[in-house]
Structure 1
């Protein structure tokens, strides 16, 4: 009941993930990113604890495939899990357990990994991954949104999608550059795109305010001079 994309921008080193599901609040459970370390997706009868194990593996200098192996080994029920990893160098890997729900699929290549379960079309992860790779001139958030929109346009999951989350980290700071979530909606993708239209033009300003507040633009609120 979930499909998702993890990706890396080769130009900037930014890492990110986007995920949607018929379940509420998917952004709180499935996408995990750490600056200059990697992006991890854990879904399908989700165990969020596995992401910590995968991130820890990447922090020790191991690659995406090693992180997948470590997460599988740590799980008492790997057959229920679906995992994807993109590491700081863009190496990627995926895993789908034999008890993954319904029609499922996976795709991985340099800088991208995509997975899905209870899909209306098993080709959705491949199409999302390829769409991500085609759009290398766009920013990472825009590429991730476009990639998952491709999945929606192909029919998405069998049930109605209700939630979506977008998470992006830049390599030079430890906090999220983008962390947008729609926890329950009749149109989660449309709502996320509206949020990005509002937040996207301001994202760099918030980063500047954290690092160099004297250079930050005005806040545009009452009392700001």
Structure 2
């Protein structure tokens, strides 16, 4: 009832899953991952125990293929299951039970496993594989591009409903306190993959590191723009008397709008934040 792709980025040491299904809240069922260990997509009458079990076994150093054999061998309903795995070194494995509804199947390649069931046809899986392989950029971008290509190639024969993206990275979570680098879900939507891509753009705006070339001093025209929009948005009532007053108002804006990860030293601004301010509607 689902199609997914599990992938690995050896340079950034990221593991991730992108998934879509005609199913409510697929992100709560299919994806499991742990930084330094691997990633799992469990679907088609999903056995959600596969996620924790597979991660535990991979943490012990077992390969994806070894883990796949271990988690499925004693499951009496394994022929109704479908699973994709990526281990700590990026080796993939995919499994499709013989009782999964057509079209069902999967394929693996360098650092990915793509699989799906109740699909329009095998072109969905092939499109995911080809797109992941040929797309440049971050793991998240490659996974989303692959998922989108899979939908364009046919997707789930029953239609669309939910989608999710999970990417883990050591200390990649908010504030560096966990590995949940990107964790986005669209639980019920007419075009869940397109909405997931939109949410990913927002996630990058709020949480991606500032690009050095985008950090500029708040002076001249930039200063006037900042003041204008702080006034328009209600953070300043009048022209600031000094730099300290402007800094206080701008800091209040950043913290209210959840831009802590884009905050710079006093007197500087990330141009991506300024662009957001320009397009933001006043309340």
TM-score (norm 2): 0.71
Q: How does 1:195-210 map to 2 (within 5 A)?
A: 195-204=199-208
Aligned length: 213
Q: Where does residue 214 of structure 1 map in the other structure?
A: none
Give 1:44 shift: 0.2
RMSD: 1.9
1:73 counterpart = 2:73:
yes
1:131 counterpart = 2:131:
yes
- CA contact under 8 A between 1:3 and 1:20: conserved in structure 2? yes
Deviations, residues 79-129 of structure 1 (Å, cap 9, x unaligned): 110011011211011110011122112010120001000000113212201
What is the CA–CA distance in structure 1 between the aligned matches of 2:205 and 2:61, rounded to whole Å? 34
Q: Where does residue 57 of structure 1 map in the other structure?
A: 57
- CA contact under 8 A between 1:50 and 1:74: conserved in structure 2? no
Q: Where does residue 111 of structure 2 map in the other structure?
A: 111
1:182 counterpart = 2:186:
yes
Greater relative contact order, per chain length (Cα 8 Å cut-off, separation 6+): 1
1:220 counterpart = 2:258:
no
Deviations, residues 156-200 of structure 1 (Å, cap 9, x unaligned): 111111000100011355421000000011110121111111111
What is the CA–CA distance in structure 2 between the aligned matches of 1:164 and 1:222, rounded to whole Å? 29
Which structure: larger Rg? Answer: 2
Q: Where does residue 149 of structure 1 map in the other structure?
A: 148
- CA contact under 8 A between 1:104 and 1:118: conserved in structure 2? yes
What is the CA–CA distance in structure 1 between the aligned matches of 2:137 and 2:53, rounded to whole Å? 31
Give 1:201 shift: 2.6
Unaligned runs of 5+ in 1: 206-217
What is the CA–CA distance in structure 2 between the aligned matches of 1:60 and 1:141, rounded to whole Å? 26
What is the CA–CA distance in structure 2 between the aligned matches of 1:201 and 1:15, rounded to whole Å? 21
What is the CA–CA distance in structure 1 between the aligned matches of 2:134 and 2:185, rounded to whole Å? 25
Deviations, residues 53-98 of structure 1 (Å, cap 9, x unaligned): 1111101000000111111024221111001101121101111001
- CA contact under 8 A between 1:168 and 1:176: conserved in structure 2? yes
What is the CA–CA distance in structure 1 between the aligned matches of 2:59 and 2:116, rounded to whole Å? 26
Deviations, residues 190-216 of structure 1 (Å, cap 9, x unaligned): 2111111111133335xxxxxxxxxxx
Unaligned runs of 5+ in 2: 173-177, 210-250, 261-265, 267-283
What is the CA–CA distance in structure 2 between the aligned matches of 1:196 and 1:50, rounded to whole Å? 27
What is the CA–CA distance in structure 1 between the aligned matches of 2:10 and 2:16, rounded to whole Å? 12
Q: Where does residue 42 of structure 1 map in the other structure?
A: 42
What is the CA–CA distance in structure 2 between the aligned matches of 1:165 and 1:74, rounded to whole Å? 29
TM-score (norm 1): 0.89
